Amino acid sequence: MPRLTIDGQEVNVEPGTTVIQAAEKLGVYIPRYCYHPGLSIAGSCRMCLVDAENSPKLQIACYTPAVEGMKIITNNEKVKQARRHMLEFLLTNHPLDCPVCDQSGECDLQNFYMEYGRYESRFLEDKIKKKKATPLGPHVVLDQERCILCSRCTRFTEEISRSHELGIFNRGNRSLVDLHPGKTLDNPYSGNVIDICPVGALTEREFRFKCRVWYLASQPSVCTGCSRGCNVWIHFNASQRSYKNQGRRIQRLKPRFNPHVNQWWMCDEGRFGFEFIDQNRIEFPHLRQGSRLQPVDWEEALQTVVRATRSALDKFGPESVGVIASAMQSNEELYLVKKLFGDGLGVSNIGHSNPAEREGFSDDFLVRGDKNPNRAGAEALDLTASVDSILEKATHGDIKVLWVFHHELPPQALEGAQYVVFMGSNWNRTTESAQAVLAGVTHAEKDGTFSNFEGRIQHFQQAVPPLEESRNDVGVLLDLARRLDCPLDLQDAGDVFRQWCGKSLRELEPFGELLTAAAV
């Protein structure tokens, strides 16, 4: 293993490691534009120049291999001057539109200029003009004047999405990024070119002019779009003290690095499919009065559903109650469903599959056909009774009280069901048949874990508070357990996870860990 010295610190690295990677191992950040760890090396921006001992000129850290005995300086005056010159070159034709650029606040051109530039400009304002604010596809807008030709986006469409929409055309100072003739940037992963663009050349159509990035806070989470469970950052407006009548609270989702699950990427389906967090929400518990559902307080709602459930159990036994849990629920919520209804009340009719669901779009990269984030968790907890059988029993009157969690079931599937309790976050066709509707929350409003299709347990955290009177399933299920004389002596999702897995959430590996028999 080569051993080298970077800024006075020694480090051992694997053969084939580049200087920029060796520096990151030491926590030394070398500025870069074209380099991205998930793409091939272009070596074109020259921003990562470093001073190598016994080398007659500066070397690019992204391409130079680390060798035994090498001594590297990343921050002497010679290196800083080179970076200053590169910034001056890159800014020759860059427009001065930072005040109206969506990248402002997270732009590497701004950041590096403030760190290494700060020079007196030698250029007149006679810049080459190119196309501005040009839609490339449904999600991406291109501003050619801001582009510094790092080629990250073109390499992404060639190497990752393999859709080949983007290319670099012309020569010299007339070079520009654009679509190939007849192409549109609409591949399933097009949003990733926004993430990897180091400047404001590629911006998100849905996010443009919605919020300045310095008002955004972020929370680590997991995408619920499919059973892959891509790691994401939820970005929300932290400056809003109240979310009442503020429109959408979640501003955008960004991929979060996980080498075992999604690396640096995420699909457009998950990236842009978060409208359900703020749209069509159930904000209060409801009970059916006549033909209409009317909002009530939680005390009345819980008393009513407990009374109906207890009456069915007392008169007809555990077989008179059915539960359709959901693979959209967290492991902690599914565990409580099993503990309360299965172990506590003796109910055996507990399933989780929605018979109306069909496999969705999938590919051989990230997207899975199963659009539920926690199928593996539901199966590991053995909540696998036939839902078709449960619905048939409800239709025939054998099941008197049917609990449905988060599923959208067609009305005909619930015909004949005597008493339906729905718990979920969004209005759907199931609520049309329900006698009681309990207002749940989305994953962005609670803590918990999902187990992806490989069985990898991943922690997600609350980003925004619940809307109005909605409550998370864990709190409601624990409340129901006390009212049904099955107290579980647990307080929150962390307690549930500790009882389920025998460890705390903080003990999960940084990138999640595989579900084991001991955790079931």
What is the pLDDT confidence band of residue 415, given thresholds at 50, 70 and 90?
A: confident
- For the ranges 167-171, 174-178, 469-473, 515-519, the lowest mean pLDDT is seen at 515-519
The answer on pLDDT for 255 being more than 90 is yes
CA-to-CA distance for 453 and 366, rounded, in angstroms?
Answer: 11
Q: What is the pLDDT of residues 258-312, one digit of tens each?
A: 999 999 999 999 999 999 999 999 999 999 998 899 999 999 999 999 999 999 9
- Tell me: the pLDDT tens digits for 441-498? 999 999 999 999 999 999 999 999 999 999 999 999 999 999 999 989 899 999 999 9
Angle subtended at Cα 225 by Cα 268 and Cα 213, rounded to the nearest 5 degrees? 55
DSSP code string of 180-202: PTT--S-STTTTHHHHH-SSSSE
Q: Which residue type sits at 164?
A: H
Q: Given pLDDT bands bounded at 50, 70 and 90, which one contains residue 240?
A: low
Residues in the chain, overall count? 520
User: What is the average per-residue pLDDT within 143-166?
Assistant: 96
Query: CA 164, CA 256: separation in Å to the nearest integer?
Result: 24
| Per-residue model confidence (pLDDT) at position 518 | 44
The confidence band for 370, taking pLDDT boundaries of 50, 70 and 90, is very high
Q: What are the DSSP E strand ranges found in 358-463?
A: 401-405, 419-424, 436-439, 448-451, 456-460
For 74-122, the pLDDT digits (tens) are 999 999 999 999 998 898 889 888 999 999 999 999 999 888 877 677 7
Closest CA to 459 of 500, 411, 493, 433: 493
Residue 70: its pLDDT value, please?
A: 94
- State yes or no: pLDDT of 172 exceeds 90: no
Q: How confident is the model at residue 517 (pLDDT cuts 50, 70, 90)?
A: very low
pLDDT band at 246 (very low <50, low <70, confident <90, very high): low
Does 151 or 416 have the greater pLDDT score? 151
Cα-Cα end-to-end distance for the chain = 41
Q: How far is CA 411 from the centre of its chain?
A: 32
What is the Cα–Cα distance from 230 to 243, expressed in whole angstroms?
27
How far is 92 from 129, CA to CA, in rounded Å? 12
pLDDT of residue 123: 72
- Fill in the amino acid letter for 280: N
User: What pLDDT is stored for residue 520 in this prediction?
Assistant: 46
Residues 124 and 432: their CA atoms lie apart, in Å, by: 67
What DSSP designation does 465 have? P
**Res 245 pLDDT > 60:** no
User: Residue 209 pLDDT more than 80?
Assistant: yes
Q: Which residue has the higher pLDDT, 245 or 170?
A: 170
pLDDT of residue 243: 53
Per-residue CA distances from 327 to 191, 342, 369, 450 (Å):
27, 17, 14, 9
* pLDDT at 46 exceeding the cut of 70: yes
Q: What is the identity of the amino acid at 325?
A: A
238: pLDDT confidence band, cut at 50, 70 and 90? confident
Whether the pTM exceeds 0.85: the reply is: yes
